[in-house]
Amino acid sequence: MASPPVARAQTEEAFLDAAERLLVEVGYAGITTRRLAEEAGANHGLVHYYFGSMENLLARVLERFTERMIERQRAMYATEIPFLEKWRTAMLYLAADREYQKIWWELQALAWNRPELQATVAHVNEEWRSVLTEAFAEARERYGLEMPLDALVSLVITFNEGIILERLAGIETGHAELLEWIDGWLEGKEALWRRRKR
Amino acid sequence: MASPPVARAQTEEAFLDAAERLLVEVGYAGITTRRLAEEAGANHGLVHYYFGSMENLLARVLERFTERMIERQRAMYATEIPFLEKWRTAMLYLAADREYQKIWWELQALAWNRPELQATVAHVNEEWRSVLTEAFAEARERYGLEMPLDALVSLVITFNEGIILERLAGIETGHAELLEWIDGWLEGKEALWRRRKR
DNA sequence: AAATGTCTTAGACGTTTGACTAAGGAGGCC
DNA sequence: GGCCTCCTTAGTCAAACGTCTAAGACATTT
């Protein structure tokens, strides 16, 4: 066994990991101290000892997840690759990361009824927004888009959210058509820009 | 007292109404038989007697709500008014009906973890889709939009969903800018069409 | 080696849950 | 008027819940 402080930190992580798995499996309403402890392979009393309450534990899950999301979003758009490639990478993530999205939206649904969690959710949204704002400022200029930047970013964020949420409910109608059209449209804009540059 | 069958139907409705109020207030996870009965002003044993289980009751709430949503959506777009006016009416609803939206998304979040409910949710989505498809087929032709109809409808639906969901979490950044720009853009398209018609 | 302080465990506490039932009551039918 | 069916009520039940505690294990310090 490792020395206590390390072991404790590991067990705490095990609880948070287990909570994420249960969010995917059964949603936030299905998480109880005992089930969580079983999933984490730890004693159910520790939930109270470590975190004080399930509520606090879920708040910790939200915070940890939040940090990871922001890191990922920054990494995706911050690299020095052309906008079109960034977009395509983002759309690949959108298609692939179902579990990740389930966790995120379960936490959001939880926050609908826990106002004290909404600030954390809003923080992620702002981060995402600022990352996208930077990326789309470039794209907007390059492609000569007439839409104000604020509006453009909101449109992109919200339709992404909508796609994720429809998919959580098992709905995929029209998604492929929409994403394909956007891709082709961007490609056309990109080609136009290249021609104009020469 | 009214005769039993009528009274029973009324009490059942009272349960469903109370469930909707609790969905707004505390979310689906906070609804228990006893709390629901208190909210409905009825005996808690009746939940089992009438509906068999809380699960069935929530399924009934979903079905009843579904019917109302479809009716409303049909009514909104089916009248013989110009497309721009339909759009503006829809956007007014979007801005106003927060409780309605909370109920709907609580039911959706419930369905994420109850696959047997997803068919009902999907049905509403399809209805909405078909109503919008008809309305936007007209708009698309009139305004000469290049986007395929499928993709256009998906875009409109998903960004609407995104706006609603961000607002449930207390986020409103960029929404007004986006909606205003769309409104102005449509107005421009409409003016163009009027000029061309002459 | 003993003492110390922290961590972990199993279990107990009272509460709340969904589900169910027995007893009483109201209204319609003969 | 008396029976009969259906409805409503209060209350019971076992299970599961969050919380808390006492006792022991452990590593570290003295």
pLDDT per residue over B127-175, tens digit each?
999 999 999 999 999 999 999 999 999 999 999 999 999 999 999 999 9
How many CB pairs below 8 A link A and B? 149
Burial pattern A107-120, b for ≥16 Cβ within 10 A else e, equals bbbbbbbbeebbeb
Q: Residues B7-11: what's their mean pLDDT? A: 78
* Average pLDDT for B25-50: 93
Task: Find chain B residues with C-beta within 8 A of A32's C-beta.
Answer: none
Nucleotides of strand C within 7 Å of the protein's CB atoms: 6-11, 16-22, 26-28
Query: In whole angstroms, what is the distance from residue B60 CA to residue B62 CA?
Result: 5
Residue type at A45 in one-letter notation:
G
Tokens of A167: 């998919």
Provide, in whole angstroms, the distance separating residue A44's CA from nucleotide C11's C1'.
Answer: 11
How distant is C1' of C24 from CA of B114, in Å? Answer: 39
Per-residue tokens: B48:
């089992």
Q: Is the pLDDT of residue A183 over 50?
A: yes
Whether A131 has a pLDDT exceeding 60, the answer reads yes
The model's pTM is 0.91
Spatial CA neighbour of B21 closest among B103, B125, B135: B103
Residue with tokens 């109809």: B149
Preferred mutation among A154, A179, A182, A186 to probe B, highest tally of B CBs within 10 A: A154
Q: Which nucleotide is nearest to A6 (CA to C1')?
A: C7
How many whole angstroms separate alpha carbon A113 and alpha carbon A104? 15
Q: Mean pLDDT for chain B?
A: 91
Interface test with A, best of B105, B107, B173 (most A CBs within 10 A): B173
The pLDDT of residue A158 is above 70 = yes
pLDDT band at B5 (very low <50, low <70, confident <90, very high): low
Separation of CA A50 and C1' C2 in angstroms?
A: 30
| Rounded Cα–Cα distance for residues A113 and A168 (Å) | 20
Asked if residue B160 lies in contact with residue A162, where contact means CB atoms within 8 angstroms, the answer is yes
- The closest alpha carbon to A69, from A41, A97, A46, belongs to A97
Q: Who among A162, A170, A173 is closest to B118 (CB)?
A: A170
CA distance A30 to B185: 46
What distance in Å separates the CA atoms of residue A1 and residue B29, rounded to the nearest whole number? 39
Residue A77 has pLDDT above 80, yes or no: no
Whether the per-residue pLDDT at B197 is higher than 80: the answer is no
Interval A104-117 mean pLDDT: 95
Q: Which two tokens stand for residue A30?
A: 């299905």
Distance of CA B73 to the CA centre of its chain: 8
Q: What would the two tokens of residue A158 be?
A: 């919200």
Q: What integer pLDDT is reported at residue B193 of this predicted model? A: 84
The answer to whether residue B2 scores a pLDDT higher than 60 is no
* Helix or strand run (H / E) with residue A6: helix A4-25
Q: By three-state DSSP, how is residue A3 classified?
A: coil
Whether the CB-CB separation of B153 and A174 falls below 8 Å is answered with yes
pLDDT over 70, % of chain A: 96
Closest CB from B118, B151, B178 relative to A169: B118
Which residues in B lie closer than 8 A to residue A122 (C-beta atoms)? 169-171
Q: Which structure tokens are listed for B151?
A: 């993709």
pLDDT of B3 reads: 41
Does the structure show a pLDDT above 50 at A174?
yes
Task: Tell whether B188 lies on the interface with A, counting CB pairs under 8 A.
Answer: no
